[in-house]
């Protein structure tokens, strides 16, 4: 084997250790030794000292004060010193109680570390094997339940686990399982809860986005409607302005016409005055004409009276009227008549012009009246039109009021749209952040599940059905090869011992069950039918087969092999065969067979006798 280390134990020295006051035990390089002595003599104690020296605890698991010899003198310390070599390196380990210490020297150099734990770790490293490996590969017997064939399946598995150093697999499986379960119990629910929460948050955001968009659409529709309405309102406003303008124009026209009417009324009064003036003048002239006409008639009547008076008395002057007088008076009267006629003519002419003036005035008055009535009609018309326009204006205003009521919120709606769009953008950002979270958590969850798968693989791998069963299946032929060889040697082929990693269950299924089937040749018998001696030999076959396996698997070659009360139930044939087998081992190493039986001396060349008396256990070597 590459890198195989050779450990040679050389010397065990102890003071006040267990039953020994003083122990000084040399281990030779090779040979087969029988260690005998009564129960309690201190046989096992020799090798307990070795184990304690190396590891700080005995094969039985005692440490601390339990190893200190009862009955030691006050002030005496308990110590164990082991000398050994690993390849060419000389090592000495000294362990003490009162005070507690451990010391390691390598080639006489003290290489102890500040703490005992650290020094022990160094010792383990130097030895290349732990307490477990040592107690399972160097010492067989009291420490190890070697009755493998009688053990239960789980005990066998445990033993084989130790021999095959499978214990780390158990630890590895346990830690893989712990990690797996931690992930299953903490991470998975954590991620699942987180994922659920994050998804719910996502859904909530979606709902909010949806309602935001719905509101946005509705607000946009409202805005559109309001803008349409606003256009109508603008049209209405324009028509209001126009109508108001029209009304103003009409009102202005009406005012002008009213002023004109006033003027016309004044004018009419003037014309009426003028007409009556003309009429008065006309009447005066007519009167004058009438007067002149009357005067003419009077003068003509006078003339006619004068002419009639011819010689008569003058009614006027009461004088006798002669012809001459008549002519003169007549002439005079004629002149007067003539004068009056001229006046008459004159007045007639004046009257004519007066009539004309009246006619003229009447005409003007008529015209003015027409004008006035036209103006009145117009004013009336304007009033009607104004009234109509005022009505229109009222109508427009009413409409405006009702329309405008809806348009004043445009700014608000625009603002609302802006806010909503901002909100939606923000929510969309939130959503993508939430998506990222969801994706992150989902990937964490997936990773955790992957991890679980991976750890599950190792839980199985490190478990009984994994590496173990594969190794066991490979180990079985090796074990069986050894078992066959030992069975042939120890029982002349009487017994067959077969290791099985799998057993067929009654159902026909193959199950993982470590079994040892012992059969007795010819008898068709099983382990239970064997005699005590046969059973013991079967056990030894199992033990030695397993020792072979350990040796093959170990990186260490150790010069010592101890069988502590392993052969107690062997019959003399068994002892003989076993001893001759152990002599083979004894060629290479020091093999110690510990028994309290007294009848075995003859089989061994080297006998070490252990006795226990008041001074503690003592060793005497005889050859």
Ligand X SMILES: Nc1ncnc2c1ncn2[C@@H]1O[C@H](COP(=O)(O)OP(=O)(O)O)[C@@H](O)[C@H]1O
Tell me which residues touch ligand X (CB under 6 A): 18-19, 37, 39-45, 68-70, 610, 612
- In whole angstroms, how close is the CB of 140 to Mg ion at the nearest point? 13
* Residue 282, binding choice from Mg ion, ligand X, none, Cβ under 5 to 8 Å by partner class: none
* Residue 19, binding choice from ligand X, Mg ion, none, Cβ under 5 to 8 Å by partner class: ligand X
Q: Which is nearer to Mg ion, 403 or 617 (CB)?
A: 617
Q: How far apart are CA 42 and CA 55, in angstroms?
A: 20
* Residue 163, binding choice from Mg ion, ligand X, none, Cβ under 5 to 8 Å by partner class: none
Q: Which is nearer to ligand X, 69 or 340 (CB)?
A: 69
Q: Which is nearer to ligand X, 468 or 618 (CB)?
A: 618
Q: Which is nearer to ligand X, 68 or 498 (CB)?
A: 68
Q: Which is nearer to Mg ion, 198 or 565 (CB)?
A: 565
Contact in structure between 556 and 490 (CB atoms under 8 Å): no
**Gyration radius of the chain over CA positions:** 77
- In whole angstroms, how close is the CB of 596 to Mg ion at the nearest point? 8
Q: What stretch of H or E contains 564?
A: strand 560-564
Q: How far apart are CA 358 and CA 98, in angstroms?
A: 172
Q: Which is nearer to Mg ion, 43 or 468 (CB)?
A: 43
Give me the residue label for tokens 């502590």.
564
- How far, CA to CA in Å, does 558 sit from each of 27, 33, 522? 12, 16, 40
Q: Which is nearer to ligand X, 37 or 574 (CB)?
A: 37
Q: What stretch of H or E contains 102?
A: strand 101-106
- How far, CA to CA in Å, does 170 sit from each of 154, 453, 463, 472, 610? 13, 19, 7, 15, 41
Q: How far apart are CA 403 and CA 410, in angstroms?
A: 12
* Residue 319, binding choice from Mg ion, ligand X, none, Cβ under 5 to 8 Å by partner class: none
- In whole angstroms, how close is the CB of 163 to ligand X at the nearest point? 24
* Residue 39, binding choice from ligand X, Mg ion, none, Cβ under 5 to 8 Å by partner class: ligand X
- In whole angstroms, how close is the CB of 44 to Mg ion at the nearest point? 3
Q: Which is nearer to ligand X, 70 or 614 (CB)?
A: 70
* Residue 532, binding choice from Mg ion, ligand X, none, Cβ under 5 to 8 Å by partner class: none
Q: Which is nearer to ligand X, 484 or 596 (CB)?
A: 596
* Residue 42, binding choice from Mg ion, ligand X, none, Cβ under 5 to 8 Å by partner class: ligand X
Binding region for Mg ion (CB under 5 A)? 43-44
Angle in degrees, CA 51, 55, 60, rounded to 5: 50
Q: How far apart are CA 45 and CA 449, in angstroms?
A: 55
Q: Which is nearer to ligand X, 70 or 528 (CB)?
A: 70
- In whole angstroms, how close is the CB of 609 to ligand X at the nearest point? 11
Task: Select from 559, 565, 587, 589 the least CA-distant residue to 34.
Answer: 565
- In whole angstroms, how close is the CB of 493 to ligand X at the nearest point? 34
Task: Select from 387, 538, 548 the least CA-distant residue to 482.
Answer: 548
- In whole angstroms, how close is the CB of 129 to ligand X at the nearest point? 23
- In whole angstroms, how close is the CB of 35 to Mg ion at the nearest point? 9
- How far, CA to CA in Å, does 498 sit from each of 149, 477, 515? 10, 9, 8
* Residue 41, binding choice from Mg ion, ligand X, none, Cβ under 5 to 8 Å by partner class: ligand X
> In 10 A of CB 189, how many CB atoms?
10
Q: Which is nearer to ligand X, 21 or 282 (CB)?
A: 21
Angle in degrees, CA 560, 27, 573, rounded to 5: 55
* Residue 70, binding choice from Mg ion, ligand X, none, Cβ under 5 to 8 Å by partner class: ligand X
Q: What stretch of H or E contains 512?
A: strand 510-520
Residues 6+ apart with CB under 8 A from 458: 172, 173, 176
Contact in structure between 51 and 564 (CB atoms under 8 Å): no
- In whole angstroms, how close is the CB of 43 to ligand X at the nearest point? 3
Q: Which is nearer to ligand X, 60 or 422 (CB)?
A: 60
- In whole angstroms, how close is the CB of 522 to Mg ion at the nearest point? 37
Relative to beta strand 590-595, strand 31-36 is parallel
* Residue 37, binding choice from ligand X, Mg ion, none, Cβ under 5 to 8 Å by partner class: ligand X
Q: Which is nearer to Mg ion, 48 or 534 (CB)?
A: 48
Residue nearest to Mg ion (CB): 44
Q: How long, in residues, is the chain?
A: 623
Q: What stretch of H or E contains 307?
A: helix 188-309
% helix / strand / coil in the chain, to the nearest 5? 65, 20, 20
* Residue 358, binding choice from Mg ion, ligand X, none, Cβ under 5 to 8 Å by partner class: none
Q: How far apart are CA 203 and CA 512, in angstroms?
A: 52
> In 10 A of CB 114, how many CB atoms?
7
Give me the residue label for tokens 């893989």.
176
Contact in structure between 410 and 226 (CB atoms under 8 Å): yes
Q: How far apart are CA 90 and CA 9, in angstroms?
A: 10
Q: How far apart are CA 426 and CA 485, in angstroms?
A: 84
- In whole angstroms, how close is the CB of 102 to ligand X at the nearest point? 19
- In whole angstroms, how close is the CB of 41 to Mg ion at the nearest point? 8
* Residue 58, binding choice from Mg ion, ligand X, none, Cβ under 5 to 8 Å by partner class: none
- In whole angstroms, how close is the CB of 70 to ligand X at the nearest point? 4
- In whole angstroms, how close is the CB of 142 to Mg ion at the nearest point? 6
Q: Which is nearer to ligand X, 40 or 311 (CB)?
A: 40
Give me the residue label for tokens 């030894």.
540
Q: How far apart are CA 392 and CA 387, in angstroms?
A: 8
Bond into 99 cis (ω within 30): yes
Q: How far apart are CA 208 and CA 428, in angstroms?
A: 10
The torsion angles phi and psi of 463, rounded to 5 degrees, stand at -80, -175
- In whole angstroms, how close is the CB of 69 to ligand X at the nearest point? 4
Q: Which is nearer to ligand X, 43 or 267 (CB)?
A: 43
């Amino acid at each position: 084997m590459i890198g195989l280390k050779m450990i040679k134990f050389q010397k065990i020295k102890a003071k006040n250790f267990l039953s020994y006051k003083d122990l000084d035990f040399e281990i030779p390089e090779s040979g087969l030794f029988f260690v005998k002595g009564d129960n309690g003599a201190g046989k096992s104690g020799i090798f307990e000292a070795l184990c304690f020296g190396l590891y700080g605890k005995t094969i039985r698991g005692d440490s601390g004060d339990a190893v200190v010899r009862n009955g030691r003198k006050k002030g005496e310390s308990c110590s164990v010193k082991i000398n050994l070599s690993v390849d060419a390196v000389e090592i000495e380990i000294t362990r003490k109680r009162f005070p507690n210490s451990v010391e390691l020297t390598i080639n006489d150099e003290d290489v102890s570390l500040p703490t005992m734990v650290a020094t022990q770790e160094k010792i383990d490293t130097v030895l290349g094997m732990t307490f477990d490996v040592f107690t399972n590969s160097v010492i067989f017997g009291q420490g190890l339940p070697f009755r493998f064939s009688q053990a239960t399946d789980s005990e066998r598995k445990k033993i084989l686990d130790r021999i095959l150093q499978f214990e780390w697999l158990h630890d590895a499986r346990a830690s893989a399982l712990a990690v797996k379960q931690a992930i299953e119990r903490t991470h998975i629910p954590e991620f699942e809860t987180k994922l659920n929460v994050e998804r719910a948050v996502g859904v909530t955001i979606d709902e909010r986005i949806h309602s935001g968009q719905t509101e946005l659409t509705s607000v946009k529709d409202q805005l559109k409607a309001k803008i349409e309405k606003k256009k109508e309102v603008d049209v209405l406003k324009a028509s209001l302005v126009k109508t108001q303008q029209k009304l103003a124009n009409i009102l202005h026209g009406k005012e002008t016409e009213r002023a004109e009417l006033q003027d016309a009324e004044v004018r009419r009064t003037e014309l009426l005055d003028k007409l009556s003036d003309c009429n008065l003048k006309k009447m005066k002239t007519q009167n004058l004409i009438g007067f002149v006409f009357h005067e003419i008639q009077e003068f003509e009547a006078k003339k006619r009276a004068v002419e009639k008076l011819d010689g008569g008395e003058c009614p006027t002057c009461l004088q006798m009227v002669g012809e001459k007088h008549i002519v003169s008076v007549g002439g005079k009267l004629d002149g007067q008549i003539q004068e009056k006629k001229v006046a008459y003519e004159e007045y007639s002419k004046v009257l004519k012009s007066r009539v004309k003036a009246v006619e003229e005035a009447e005409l003007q008055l008529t015209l003015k009246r027409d004008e006035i009535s036209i103006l009145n009609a117009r004013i009336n018309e304007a009033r009607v039109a104004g009234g109509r326009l005022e009505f229109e204006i009222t109508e427009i205003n009413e409409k405006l009021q009702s329309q405008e009521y809806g348009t004043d919120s445009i700014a608000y709606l625009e603002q609302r749209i802006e806010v909503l769009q901002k909100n939606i953008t923000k929510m969309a950002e939130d959503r993508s952040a939430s998506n990222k979270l969801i994706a992150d958590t989902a990937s964490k969850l997936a990773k955790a599940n992957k991890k679980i798968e991976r750890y599950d693989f190792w839980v199985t791998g490190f478990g009984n059905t994994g590496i173990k069963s594969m190794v066991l299946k490979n180990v079985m032929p090796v074990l069986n090869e050894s078992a066959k060889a030992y069975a042939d040697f120890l029982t002349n082929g009487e017994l067959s011992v077969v290791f099985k990693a799998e057993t067929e269950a009654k159902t026909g299924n193959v199950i993982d069950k470590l079994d040892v089937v012992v059969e007795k040749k010819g008898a068709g018998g099983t382990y239970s039918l064997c005699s005590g001696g046969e059973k013991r030999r079967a056990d030894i076959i199992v033990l030695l087969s397993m020792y072979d396996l350990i040796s093959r698997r170990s990186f260490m070659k150790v010069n010592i092999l101890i069988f502590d009360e392993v052969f107690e139930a062997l019959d003399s044939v068994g002892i003989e065969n076993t001893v001759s087998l152990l002599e083979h081992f004894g060629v290479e190493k020091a093999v110690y067979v510990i028994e309290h039986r007294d009848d075995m001396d003859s089989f061994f060349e080297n006998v070490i006798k252990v006795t226990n008396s008041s001074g503690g256990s003592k060793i005497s070597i005889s050859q």
